């Protein structure tokens, strides 16, 4: 049974293995020079603004326009795109092809029961998918470690100030990619079972995985652990800009917040009573200088309401997220098992 599974899975496994190996070589080659760049930048052991600010400038300048950003984004694309492709090319044909070509009649009439057949194939390929994703995540994490260490010193709103909790990067670190791979694979198998034809199942899997991976960080992840709410006094230096309506009756203030490594979900300017500040625009802001505007806003005693996920929640969020995806994968696999044990041979 295991031998059969391997024979049927061989080509896909070898192709994926080659891609993984090629990328691993690219990571190894660039990874050591990146680590060298970090240790030579003066960031390790820097103390205080005097030495840290030039060091981080130095580091960021050498990163800009270099091959590192390119390699990193290729890695990000492989992790997200790879899980969708695992679903489409490993998952969808797994059962759909047997049904399409009629070979299920042979496969399901052996001494091995249908469910055992399904269990062995799904477990083997699913574990391979998770192992591949885990390996990729591990390699990319090793590679990007110096950059994450540097984010601690990065000035706000610079290209380095996004920590590993930011929506794009969260899914490429830790154990979450294993969850995505398992889910995408199981979704592919289930789509194949439902559609009974390979091509439509592949299309649905690609679109489905793409949609889930895009929708999740926007709508689901912020609610896995309720965010921390914090009220800060609005300092003039935090004001990044404001917009006013045509007749100046409304005014929105945009304030920045610097929380290295945290994921800031919302950042609003509220009045001392706790309502969102909506104007009217102060006279000084319409006609006066920026200083006069800041001073007039300070007189309003405004606060900043920030809700965010602190950097320390990286691993709990990873755990919940991976758990949710693996659970979804198991449910989909159970559905497939129920469906094929019910099916009559026609």
Asked if 199 interacts with another protein (CB under 8 A), we say yes
Q: Using CB under 8 A, which of the segments 26-34, 106-114, 245-253, 312-320 binds another protein? A: 245-253
Asked if 202 interacts with another protein (CB under 8 A), we say yes
Q: Using CB under 8 A, which of the segments 85-93, 176-184, 220-228, 301-309 binds another protein? A: 85-93
Asked if 262 interacts with another protein (CB under 8 A), we say no
Least separation, in Å, of the C-beta of 51 and another protein?
A: 13
Rounded to whole angstroms, the Cα distance separating 225 from 152 reads: 24
> Contacting another protein (CB under 8 A), which of 123, 157, 235, 236?
157
> Contacting another protein (CB under 8 A), which of 33, 51, 109, 245?
245
Q: DSSP 3-state assignment of 66?
A: coil
Concatenate the DSSP letters of all residues of 24-44 into one string: HHHHHHHHHHHHHHHHHTT-T
Asked if 147 interacts with another protein (CB under 8 A), we say no
Work out the angle between the directed axes of helices 114-151 and 67-85 (0-180°, nearest 10): 160
Rounded to whole angstroms, the Cα distance separating 322 from 299 reads: 48
Asked if 30 interacts with another protein (CB under 8 A), we say no
User: In DSSP terms, which residues pair with 307 in a beta bridge?
Assistant: 229, 266
Least separation, in Å, of the C-beta of 314 and another protein?
A: 22
Asked if 83 interacts with another protein (CB under 8 A), we say no
Residue with smaller CB distance to another protein, 12 or 303: 12
> Contacting another protein (CB under 8 A), which of 14, 17, 22, 70?
70
Least separation, in Å, of the C-beta of 203 and another protein?
A: 5
Residue with smaller CB distance to another protein, 50 or 241: 241
Q: Closest Cα to residue 121, out of 91, 164, 79?
A: 91
Q: Are 41 and 157 in contact (CB under 8 A)?
A: no
Rounded to whole angstroms, the Cα distance separating 11 from 117 reads: 20
> Contacting another protein (CB under 8 A), which of 29, 44, 53, 61?
61
Task: Please tell me what DSSP assigns to residue 217.
Answer: I
Rounded to whole angstroms, the Cα distance separating 329 from 184 reads: 8
Asked if 243 interacts with another protein (CB under 8 A), we say yes
> Contacting another protein (CB under 8 A), which of 244, 248, 294, 337?
244
Asked if 57 interacts with another protein (CB under 8 A), we say yes
Extended strands (E) in 198-322: 228-233, 239-244, 251-255, 263-270, 303-309
Asked if 246 interacts with another protein (CB under 8 A), we say yes
Q: DSSP 3-state assignment of 144?
A: helix
Q: DSSP 3-state assignment of 263?
A: strand
Asked if 242 interacts with another protein (CB under 8 A), we say yes
Q: Are 285 and 251 in contact (CB under 8 A)?
A: yes
Q: Closest Cα to residue 131, out of 102, 90, 98, 167?
A: 90
Asked if 307 interacts with another protein (CB under 8 A), we say no
Q: Are 280 and 248 in contact (CB under 8 A)?
A: yes
Asked if 203 interacts with another protein (CB under 8 A), we say yes
Asked if 58 interacts with another protein (CB under 8 A), we say yes
Rounded to whole angstroms, the Cα distance separating 321 from 324 reads: 5
Q: Are 152 and 184 in contact (CB under 8 A)?
A: no
Asked if 44 interacts with another protein (CB under 8 A), we say no
Least separation, in Å, of the C-beta of 63 and another protein?
A: 12
Asked if 234 interacts with another protein (CB under 8 A), we say no
- Residues that bind another protein in the complex, under the rule CB under 8 A: 11, 15, 40, 57-58, 61-62, 70, 74, 85, 89, 93, 157, 159, 195, 198-200, 202-204, 206-207, 210, 214, 218, 240-246, 252, 254
């Amino acid at each position: 049974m295991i031998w059969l599974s391997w024979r049927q899975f061989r080509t896909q496994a070898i192709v994926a293995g080659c891609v993984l190996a090629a990328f691993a070589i690219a990571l190894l080659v660039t990874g050591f020079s990146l680590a060298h760049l970090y240790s030579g930048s003066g960031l390790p052991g820097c103390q205080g603004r005097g030495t840290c600010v030039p060091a981080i400038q130095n580091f960021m300048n050498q990163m800009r326009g270099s091959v590192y950003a390119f390699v990193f984004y290729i890695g990000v694309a492989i992790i997200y795109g790879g899980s969708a492709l695992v679903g489409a090319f490993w998952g969808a044909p797994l059962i759909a092809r047997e049904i399409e070509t009629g070979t299920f009649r042979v496969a399901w009439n052996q001494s091995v029961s249908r469910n055992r057949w399904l269990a062995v194939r799904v477990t083997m390929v699913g574990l391979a998918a998770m192992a591949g994703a885990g390996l990729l995540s591990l390699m990319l994490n090793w590679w990007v470690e110096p950059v994450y260490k540097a984010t601690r010193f990065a000035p706000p709103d610079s290209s380095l100030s996004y920590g590993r909790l930011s929506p794009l990067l969260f899914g490429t670190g830790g154990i979450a990619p294993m969850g995505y791979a398992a889910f995408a694979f199981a979704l592919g198998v289930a789509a194949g079972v439902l559609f009974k034809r390979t091509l439509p199942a592949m299309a649905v899997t690609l679109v489905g995985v793409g949609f889930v991976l895009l929708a999740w960080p926007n709508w689901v992840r912020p609610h896995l652990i309720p965010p921390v709410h914090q009220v800060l006094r609005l300092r003039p230096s935090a004001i990044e800009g404001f917009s006013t309506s045509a007749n100046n009756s409304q005014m929105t203030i945009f304030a920045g917040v610097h929380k290295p490594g945290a994921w800031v979900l919302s950042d609003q300017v509220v009045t001392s009573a706790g309502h969102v500040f909506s104007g009217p625009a102060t006279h000084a802001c319409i006609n006066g200088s920026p200083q006069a505007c800041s001073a007039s806003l300070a007189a309003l005693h405004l606060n900043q309401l920030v809700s965010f996920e602190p950097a320390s929640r990286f691993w709990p969020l990873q755990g919940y997220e991976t758990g949710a995806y693996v659970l979804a994968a198991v449910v989909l696999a159970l559905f497939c098992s129920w469906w094929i044990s019910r099916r009559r041979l026609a």
